[in-house]
Structure 1
Amino acid sequence: MELQQLRYVVAVAETRNFTRAAERCRVVQSALSHQVAALERELGARLFERTSRRVRLTPAGEAFLGAARECLEAADRARAEVAASAGEIRGRLAVGAIPTVTAVNLPVALRDYRRRYPGVHITLTAAGSDELIERVRQGGVDVAFLGLPARAEPKGVQSRRLGGGELVAVVAPDYHRTETEVDLRGLADEPFIDFRVGAAGRAQSDEAFAAAGVRREVPFEVSSADLMVDLVRQGLGVGMLPAAYAPRFADLRVIRLRDAPTRVEHLIWDNRRSPAAAAFLELIHADHADPPTIT
């Protein structure tokens, strides 16, 4: 069994197509198919069901895929560790971030990192805080930037608080009220546009309204800040965004809240951090602050 065979299996599993897998691996299809078939003979089991229309994993293939990925990741990590011992940072860096991160200028940080470590392959995933925590736990993401309610802490990962801030209400330019500052009770009768129940972005607002003894209606639940803003522009309701993020949408009106919801941004990583991840943490000065929180 060779690492290249494992790469071929992963590529076929992810593309569900031998031709696209061969293109990804930069080999001719016949060579890739031959190696996958040789691996199946060695294992004594078929990894893929092949028809004229589709390719899909067999139960044996499903069982093999996870182990294959782990082997490839271990091999990549070993190469990166050897390179780091010689002063060279290589490998991969998988970064995750909520779309509304403001504590760090992430595009600039990624630019500076790539200039300093051109041998590292960088990827970026945008997702919600809960999903990013799970991805870091599972090793699919190396470091991630989160936004959580003020009293919440990410569990099962190493973390450091980067900063906090208040949320503001954002409304359409022709919104019927003229105040520039209100309390939450003053917005109780308005329809709201917010994230799904249970999401960290929603919990910030829900906790603040509950503390104020105010019930509100959220007829529009969204999965992204961009969609929230699009709905707000159409006058469908009131949105809630971090005060440092809201100015990006100059066409929206901002209403300050005297009893505003608050959130804290966190940087998280797994304790098995790679040389590439350690270099990224150092670049953004996370390692020069107080000791991390481990929960």
Structure 2
Amino acid sequence: MDLQQMRYVVAVAETNSFTRAAERCLVVQSALSHQVAKLERELGARLFERTSRRVRLTPAGAAFLPSARQCLDAAERAVAEVAAAVGEVRGRLAVGLIPSVAAVDVPGALREFHERYPAVRISLRVGASEELMEQVREGAIDVAFLGLPTTARPHGVEARALGRDQLVAVVAPEHPLAGGPAVDLRRLASEVFVDLPAGTAGRDQSDQAFEAASLARDVAFEVTNADYLARLVSEGLGIALLPSAYVPQLSGVTTIEVTDAPARVEYVAWSRDGRTPAATAYLELLEVPDVGEAGAEG
């Protein structure tokens, strides 16, 4: 078997289509199908179930896929390491971030990185902190920007704290609290809330603060995106607690200081198994210390 055959298998698995896989790989479908069939004969097992309506992995295909991806990643990294040895940074840089990241201007940093290292392919993924940590551990993401309650730490990854921020109340401009003095959690507990899904790091920081104050609150709306959360608030469907450094980006809402507000810490994280040349260059651009200096999180 060869790497090209593995690329074809991964493409078919990700698109569930030989036609779309061929388009992605810039090859005619007959050639791709021939190479996949040749690999199946070599392995002595069918990797895909093919019908007129769909294509899906067989159990043998599902077992083959993770190792195929690892081989492709290793080959790509080997090329990048050789390029780095002769002074060129290339390969890929996969960055993950929470929607409300504020400690770093991620788009600005990526623009500067791309100008310095145009040969690097950049991808950006947005998600929850716990999802991003898992993707860093799996090697799907090189660098991630996280936001965690002060009671939590990144685990299974290398990380460095970038900053700490207090949360503020966010309300619609016509809300009775808008334009008023600072409030406390007890006053806010009587309001209806819009928040992130239960169990996420972004939600935990608020839940823990209310629990510590022996207060209950009504979270009537759960959304996965902080920008959309603010849109619901602007429509008067509820109030929210968001990091103070993030809310200036929002429109259609008013902020109020919370005297006993919860806080969060933003981190940058990367794999314990080492960094690609592109990831190292990106972290250096952000002035993050070497792995040995930053230390590992539990």
TM > 0.5 fold call: yes
C-alpha distance in 2, partners of 1:180/1:251? 19
Matched, 1:12 2:12: yes
Q: What is the alpha-carbon root mean square deviation over aligned residues? A: 1.3
2:171 and 2:177 in contact (8 A); partners too: no
In structure 1, the partner of 2:193 is 192
In structure 2, the partner of 1:82 is 82
In structure 2, the partner of 1:140 is 140
For residues 140-179 of structure 1, the aligned pairs below 5 Å read 140-178=140-178, 179=180
In structure 2, the partner of 1:209 is 210
2:80 and 2:91 in contact (8 A); partners too: yes
C-alpha distance in 2, partners of 1:141/1:130? 13
- Residue range with higher mean Cα deviation, 200-209 or 98-107: 200-209
- Residue range with higher mean Cα deviation, 173-182 or 3-12: 173-182
What is the identity, as a one-letter code, of the residue corresponding to 1:14? E
Name which of 264, 274, 286 aligns with 1:284. Answer: 286
1:93 and 1:120 in contact (8 A); partners too: yes
What is the identity, as a one-letter code, of the residue corresponding to 2:23? E
1:151 to partner: Cα distance: 2.5
**Which stretches in structure 1 are left out of the alignment for 5+ residues?**
none
Superposition TM-score, scaled by structure 2 size: 0.96
- Residue range with higher mean Cα deviation, 185-194 or 124-133: 185-194
1:180 and 1:254 in contact (8 A); partners too: no
1:209 to partner: Cα distance: 1.6
C-alpha distance in 2, partners of 1:187/1:48? 55
Aligned residues, how many? 295
In structure 2, the partner of 1:228 is 229
**Identity level (%):** 60
C-alpha distance in 1, partners of 2:51/2:251? 53
C-alpha distance in 2, partners of 1:136/1:166? 26
C-alpha distance in 2, partners of 1:96/1:61? 28
Matched, 1:31 2:31: yes
For residues 106-125 of structure 1, the aligned pairs below 5 Å read 106-125=106-125
1:233 to partner: Cα distance: 1.4
2:196 and 2:223 in contact (8 A); partners too: yes
C-alpha distance in 2, partners of 1:131/1:255? 30
For residues 65-80 of structure 1, the aligned pairs below 5 Å read 65-80=65-80
C-alpha distance in 2, partners of 1:29/1:214? 61
C-alpha distance in 1, partners of 2:47/2:129? 35
1:286 to partner: Cα distance: 0.6
C-alpha distance in 1, partners of 2:72/2:170? 46
1:213 to partner: Cα distance: 2.8
1:197 to partner: Cα distance: 1.5
1:293 to partner: Cα distance: 3.3
* Paired residue secondary structure (1:182): coil
C-alpha distance in 2, partners of 1:118/1:40? 38
1:218 to partner: Cα distance: 1.0
**Which stretches in structure 2 are left out of the alignment for 5+ residues?**
none
